[in-house]
Chain A
Amino acid sequence: MTAKSALVLCMDVGFSMSNSAPGEEPPFELAKKVIQKFVQRQVFAETKDEMALVLFGTDSTKNPLEQDGQYQNITVHRNLMIPDFELLEEIANQIHPESQQADWLDALVVCMDLLKKQTEGKKYDRLVIVLLTDLCTQASPDELDIIIDNLKTAGITLQFFLPFPAGDDEEGGGDGDRGGSGHPGAGKGLSREQEQGLDMVKHVMLSLDEEDGLDEIYSFRNALEQLCMFKRIERRPTAWPCQLTIGSSLSIRIVGYKAVMDERLKKTWITVDAQTNKRDDVKRETVYCLDDDNETEVQKEDIIQGFRYGSDIVPFSKVDQDQMKYKHDGKCFAVLGFTKQSNIHRHQFIGNQVIKVFAPKDDEHAGVALSALIRALDELNMVAIVRYAYDRRCNPQVGAAFPCIKQHYECLMYIQLPFMEDLSHFTFPSLENKKFVPTEAQLSAVDSLIDSMMLVEKDESGEQKDMLKVHHIPNPAFQRHFQCLHHRAVNPGTPLPPMEPWLKAALERPEVISERCQAPLEEVKRKFPLTAVEKKKQLKTSAQIFGKDTGEPDAKKAKGDEEEEDYNLADIAEGSVTSVGSVDPARDFRTLVKLKSLPFGEVCQQLTHRIEQLLSNKNTHYYMKSITCIQAFREQSVKLGKADLYNSYLQSLKRSIPNRGLEVFWDLLVQDAVTLISKDEVEGSTVSKNEANQFLITDEKKEEVAAPTTEDTGDVDDLLDMM
């Protein structure tokens, strides 16, 4: 079982706590907020830590020690248990300022008693009492030393939260002006009781911990600032004991811990019925069916497992898979060899964790051996390449163990490296292209931008100061998540709140930087013209985005993929065809005519241009292709009722046949009976049906007639000009 802590919140609700100067929040409210925030964090962190709540200064008395008028006005509100929303609601609704006063030392004793009794027989690694009070009540110091002794033997840590800062030279808080007004709890100045109380608090704290005792005294305001963020996710590091091996006979006992890990939220959303909010009302059922027209259902028992091997699907049962799969000897941390650190590229790190490897804490020989390795690697600037397997069930990895020498400890840091299968080698055009090479002026603009935006600077004492340590910022996703959950839990029925201002600010440029970089940014803007390129394609991508926007799950898309991939004329029409190409001119022509993005005449001209190109290759393949083009030309012309362009093209084509030696082609055209468009087909045509028929049949005769007229037909360009 993991260790946990037990904590007693002990809050003063006595009458002085609700006194405040005009315009100031009474200490009671502040203390309540501190408690609320604190409990919230605990609730959402879902630690095993237990919490009790003791109030003092209450009108009534309820505690196990009350006897003979002792320990009066102290109420144990809640026994030690894991905090939950019930506690939060109680704090919100049941804790009010009351009208009595009680000795805070008495309350402390009640808390100690509670801790002692309720933690008996269970293991806690920390016992804490948190006292929130304004110290306005006279406390009797008679038994102070006994109390301190008891605290020490029980191993209880004390924390004080006061309306004012404790130190004489307190820097923060702002409400620490010592004055002589003597008005208790007025916010400015302390009363005699408070002075005395504070002295006692300091005495207690320093007795418990000589050095840092006073660090555990907080002011309400300070605490609130620190508590505003939700607890960062803390995971207890689990030890991974293993042996580092080099060859068969050299091994060193080690223990690995995850040191850095891409942390995720533990909980996932469950689906509930919108009306009843109950999970059990919603049932999910998965059925399997064949991919036929009837979607024939298949029973679960009749389903086996298979895998894809390229285009093949190979049935491969789980049992067989387990039997045949790659097996290994389990847990290992074996050195394959050593290599220069420079051979390892940072951007090739893979996986989502870093493991720190130490020697076991009770084994100094292993410590020395590992230390020798760490130092050797460090001095040689090398790393160990190791085979790492967490256990038998996990597949082994290859990774690098880097030496890491810190002031207080030494360790190896293991990071996974890629397998050959994981890498993709892309080549990119060089940026040393004349078009992109920046000028000196441009480079100096960038230089001054960098200068103005340096986040690490030396301060007056010559020490480097990092203005933004991002690894000290809590993950904003978690903060926002808990903020919204908390809001919904406490204020059901209201819309979600905006993001917390501090969180927003934490993600921005530090203010100093944003001020400093204004001018250099303007300069960069002047020196580097940037123009967004309008794209037709944008339409498509935004459609994709919108598709996603509707909350459609990705997997659904993947399934619909197959249909989507089917050849679709509409898709082509969407933008890919802009002119009649040479691969399938007939198809392009049809698409363009349908699209009407270009005038019909122009599309025809493009088509005839292609036909002429095709005909210049005297080859049957090209002839066939030309004929399909002419057929498409005819078909579309008839459809649109525009016969002229087609007819005149075909006539001029015919005239040019003898000159260009295209008789073979003409024969093919005759075979396919591709002739002129007659009046019968298109009203506007000037060709009668008979003429159309004659056009092909009277071929030879016409040829004779056509021969003398070659002079106006020979040139391809002339043909095209007619369009």
Chain B
Amino acid sequence: MAEWNAYYRNEDDEEEQEEGEQSGEYKVTGRDSLVFLVDASKEMFIKEEDGKPSNFDMTMQVVRSVYTSKITSSYRDLVALVFYGTEQSKNPRNSFKHVYVYHDLDEPGAKRVQEVDELRGSKGAQLAAKTMGSGETSLGDALWCCANLYSDIKLRLSHKRLMIFTCRDDPHEGDSVKDRQGRTKASDLRDTGVIINLMHLMKPGGFDVSLYFRDIITPPEDESDLGLQLEPCAKLEDLQNRVRAKEKKKRVLNRLNLCLGEGINVAVGVYSTAVPARKPPPIKLYRETNEPVRSKTRVFHTQTGSLLLPSELKKAQVYGKKQIVMETDEVDSIKKFEDPGMFLIGFKPMEKLKLHHHVRPAVFLYPEEDDVKGSSCLFSALLKRCSERNMFALCRFTARRNYSPRFVALVPQEEESDEGKGQITPAGFNVIYLPFADDIRTLDAPQLPCASQEQVDKMKQIVTKLRFKYRSDAFENPAIQQHFRNLEALALDMVAPEDIEDLIMPKVDQIDTRLGPLVQEFKDLVYPANYNPETKPAAKRKTADNGGGAEKKPKVELPEDELRAHVQNSTLGKLTVPVLKDACKKFGVRTTGTKKQELIDALIAQLSS
């Protein structure tokens, strides 16, 4: 059996590699984990007067959305939900009072989503009061309990994050012993690499982070006060954004050097910020038990049946009827040009970057001070000057080993912040992939008349009526959403999947009402009375063909002697199928098939006799 495994080869080697290049797979070195530590004190349940949801309700909505987004995008991440300040206690060894582990660290699943749903709204508040209640608070115990959750996990965790949701800035109300325990435990957690964030919520009189939580949370990366300046979240949307920004770990695709010249290497990290999300691949299951099966592929010799070692295999391609064979390592070596890295070629003004020079999604570049000291400074200087002078840097970019180089444009992006609420865009270079000559196709553009200013102006009115502010996160992918709703329905034994809203469907009725008579006015300006753009182009062509149809399909009649000559020289293959068919008809050859070779064979049989 062991041997068997050793010969395991992957079927789709090449394909996967290509895929990898496209989507930039991450090296998996462990799982990400996230613990929601939620305050369950009475204050959290206070409803706003204006019907806004309570802090607790808002938190549950956010937790739910993180659960579902983890399921769709990174189901292998571990998530836990822990309440503190509860009356009841529930934790693995029941050694902590007033800490209620609602979900321990595990992959989120359908059931958990449901269970979080149960905590939402006023019913949720009732349920929470019934099962957990509100009681004493000891943040130290709560954090310790969370620490145990982490240490109970037998998997390697690559990223550990803990988010505290609370609206109380002084949780222990002056109990210095508890305060100290909390601080000690928080520092213990941080020592083990857990990043502690505070999602502080609205509190009458304002939330004072410096009162206590400043000592609890992980200081922000750049040591500025970014994390503390933040206002408490009043709106669900804000909270969601804030959580979303923190929830995912920035994963670096790879770290490499941006080489300006001999010995001038700036260490940079490459991040991907927009990667097409895909439906996850299906898993093969054993019908009887629904347990996943493993697939094993082996390669053996057709004649002898013996297993073939990789060294007993070669790679080949056929060109011009010739099979060209290479060793497997030669195939790899062909792909290799240079070691991974970025090499500065020069600079160009921004207007030289053509909009249509787009071949794949961009990636983002940020300096890695930890790899080469001084990188940030030089990077920042380049960024500043490129940005001010409206330039981009042209580089040659080899993303990975055995990847061929691509030219890329490093487009400067300056940091943008949203009045103290957080970063909108970070400072760094966007890396735009540029096409090679092979990627650009030659098109014959049709020569057509242009619109008059009157026509253009009418269209301008239409355009203006349908203006909206585009936001890149406004559209969900209906295909993926539907897929997951279906799975959800199956997983939870629901009668039917929840309906999805297809956000990329044009809102035709609204558009029509907004435009009103404009559409007809425009059509009157550009289309003649009898013109109907709805008719299928194919139908249109047919009418056009009535006149010149004969020209298009020339009936090629082949003289008999020529046909015989073809039979003799066995060059029948040069003729087209319609011509051959015609010939068959002419010579009364009955054919059963319509394949070219069948026609030829039939003709030869008839004519060479």
Contacts and interface: CB of A to CB of B under 8 A. Distances in A.
A pairs with B: yes
A382 B469 CA distance: 11
Contacts of A380: 460, 463-464
A502 interface: no
Contacts of B221: 429
A132 to B, nearest CB: 21
Contacts of B337: 476-477, 480, 499, 507
Given A367-B448, A438-B381, A530-B265, A431 B376 contact: yes
Interface in A362-378: 362-373, 375-377
B1 interface: yes
B277 A419 contact: yes
A477 B248 contact: no
Interface in B348-372: 348-349, 352-353, 355-362, 364, 366-367, 369-372
Contact of A387 (B314, B356, B506): B506
A705 interface: no
A261 B522 contact: no
Interface in B1-37: 1, 8-18, 20, 22, 25, 27-28, 30-31
Nearest to B475: A398
A450 to B, nearest CB: 5
A513 B346 CA distance: 8
A287 interface: yes
Contacts of B311: 274
A348 B274 contact: yes
Contact of A530 (B70, B191, B266): B266
A698 interface: no
Contacts of A237: 441-443
B155 A567 contact: yes
A295 B3 CA distance: 13
Interface stretch (A162-170, A209-217, A546-554): A546-554
Interface stretch (A199-207, A334-342, A657-665): A334-342
Chain A contact residues, majority secondary structure: mixed
Contacts of B154: 566-567
A548 B25 CA distance: 14
B443 A259 contact: yes
B345 interface: yes
B interface, over-half SS: mixed
B361 A558 contact: no
A623 B483 CA distance: 52
A621 B138 CA distance: 14
Contact of A480 (B220, B404, B433, B466): B404
Interface string B65-99: 00100111101000000000000000000010000
B287 A530 contact: no
B542 interface: no
Interface string A121-156: 110000000000000000000000000000000000
Nearest to B422: A427
Range for the number of chain A residues in contact with chain B = 35 or more
A701 interface: no
A81 to B, nearest CB: 9
Given A443-B385, A470-B434, A553 B260 contact: no
B286 A356 contact: no
A427 B107 CA distance: 25
Interface in A251-271: 251-253, 255, 257-264, 267-271
Contacts of B595: none
A395 interface: yes
Contacts of B430: 346-347
Contacts of B123: none
A475 interface: yes
Interface stretch (B46-54, B127-135, B209-217, B316-324): B316-324
B144 interface: yes
A257 B500 CA distance: 32
Contact of B362 (A257, A347, A481): A347
A555 interface: yes
A313 interface: yes
A350 B320 contact: no
A582 B222 contact: no
A528 to B, nearest CB: 4
A94 interface: no
A420 B474 contact: yes
Given A251-B534, A446-B385, A583-B151, A282 B302 contact: yes
A509 B395 CA distance: 9
A428 B423 contact: yes
Interface stretch (B56-64, B199-207, B325-333): B325-333
Given A248-B512, A426-B271, A453-B346, A313 B292 contact: yes
Interface in A313-342: 313-316, 321, 324-326, 328, 334-340
Point out which of A258, A291, A314, A325 has the most chain B C-beta atoms below 10 A from its C-beta.
Answer: A314
A672 interface: no
A565 to B, nearest CB: 5
Contacts of A359: 446, 448
Nearest to B181: A617
Contact of A304 (B109, B285, B353, B478): B285
A447 to B, nearest CB: 6
A633 interface: no
Given A325-B483, A471-B434, A485-B319, A419 B476 contact: yes
A243 B534 contact: yes
Contact of A488 (B244, B326, B386, B509): B326
A433 B379 CA distance: 13
B607 interface: no
Interface in B263-279: 263-267, 271-277
B31 to A, nearest CB: 7
Contacts of B527: 365, 369
Contacts of B319: 43-44, 46, 85, 267, 485, 489
Contacts of B284: 288, 303-306
Contacts of A410: 450
B293 interface: yes
Contact of B301 (A273, A450, A484, A513): A273
Contacts of B344: 453
Given A316-B490, A375-B456, A533 B372 contact: yes
Contacts of A259: 356, 440-441, 443
Residue of A424, A449, A556 with most chain B CB atoms under a 10 A cut-off = A424
Interface in A45-91: 46, 83-88
A371 B574 contact: no
B462 interface: yes
Given A246-B462, A347-B411, A456 B348 contact: yes
A251 to B, nearest CB: 5
B456 A311 contact: no
Given A379-B460, A475-B436, A365 B355 contact: no
B42 interface: no
Interface in B406-455: 407, 411, 413, 415, 422-423, 426-428, 430, 432-443, 445-451, 455
Contacts of B433: 262
Contact of A368 (B323, B394, B455): B455
A546 to B, nearest CB: 11
Interface in B470-494: 470-484, 486-488, 490-491
A551 B401 CA distance: 11
Interface in B155-213: 155-156, 181, 184, 187-189, 191-192
A477 B264 contact: no
A712 interface: no
A405 to B, nearest CB: 9
11 contacts: A247-B511, A277-B314, A306-B284, A362-B544, A369-B455, A443-B385, A449-B260, A453-B345, A477-B404, A582-B191, A617-B181
Given A356-B356, A454-B346, 12 more contacts: A306-B283, A336-B504, A340-B467, A340-B469, A346-B411, A364-B448, A379-B460, A395-B478, A409-B445, A484-B326, A528-B374, A554-B16
User: 4 nearest interchain CB pairs?
Assistant: A367-B448, A429-B222, A361-B446, A477-B404
